[in-house]
Amino acid sequence: MQTSVEDPRVLEFDVRTDEMLVNMGPQHPSTHGVLRLVLRTDGEVVSEVTPHIGYLHRCAEKIGENLAVRQWIPYTDRMDYLAAMNMNLGWSLAVEKLHGYAPPERGRHLRVIIAELGRIASHLVGMGAYGLDLGSFSPFLYAFREREKILDLFEQACGARLTYSYLTPGGATADLPAGWTTRCLKMLDEFEPILPEYHTLLTSNAIFVKRTCKVGVLTADRAISYGVSGPVLRGSGVDFDLRRDGEPCYTQMYAGYDFQVIVERAGSYPATTGAPPPPPEAVLGDSWHRFYVRMLEVVQSISLVRQAIALYEAEEGLDHGQPFKLGAKLPVGETYLETEAPRGQMGFYLVSLGQPNPWRARARSSSFCNLSVIGEIGRGCLIADIPAIVGSLDIVMGEIDR
Partner 1 sequence: MQHDPAISEQLRERFPEAVVSASPGPIDPWIEIAPERLAEVAAWLKNDPAQDYDYLNGLCVIDYFTADKKLAEAVGAARLVVVYHLSNLSRKRQLTLKVTLPRWANAASETPPTLPSLAALWATAEWHECEAYDLSGVEFTNHPHLRRILCPEDWVGHPLRKDYQMPLEYHGIRGR
> Which is closer to partner 1, CB of 51 or CB of 171?
51
Rg value, the chain, Cα = 22
Q: State how beta strands 171-172 and 167-168 pair.
A: antiparallel
Stretch that binds partner 1, among 218-226, 252-260, 276-284, 301-309 (CB under 8 A): 218-226
Give the C-alpha separation, 311 to 205, whole Å: 38
> Which is closer to partner 1, CB of 80 or CB of 401?
401
Site string for partner 1, 85-114 (x = CB under 8 A): ------------xx-x--------------
Among 19, 354, 382, 384, binds partner 1 (CB under 8 A): 354
Q: Positive or negative CA dihedral for 320, 153, 138, 304?
A: positive
3-class SS of residue 128: helix
Among 27, 182, 200, 225, binds partner 1 (CB under 8 A): 225
Does 234 participate in binding partner 1 (rule CB under 8 A)? no
Stretch that binds partner 1, among 23-31, 59-67, 112-120, 310-318 (CB under 8 A): 59-67
Does 378 participate in binding partner 1 (rule CB under 8 A)? no
3-class SS of residue 265: strand
> H or E stretch including 158?
helix 138-158
Q: Shortest Cβ distance from residue 399 to partner 1 (Å)?
A: 12
Among 103, 216, 342, 347, binds partner 1 (CB under 8 A): 347
Does 263 participate in binding partner 1 (rule CB under 8 A)? no
Stretch that binds partner 1, among 166-174, 288-296, 349-357, 384-392 (CB under 8 A): 349-357
> H or E stretch including 62?
helix 60-65
Contact in structure between 56 and 393 (CB atoms under 8 Å): no
Q: Shortest Cβ distance from residue 137 to partner 1 (Å)?
A: 33
Q: Which residues of the chain form contacts with partner 1 (CB under 8 A)?
A: 53-54, 57, 59, 61-62, 97-98, 100, 222, 224-227, 238, 240, 242, 245-247, 332-336, 338, 345, 347, 349, 351, 353-355, 359-360, 362, 364, 368-369, 372, 376, 401-402
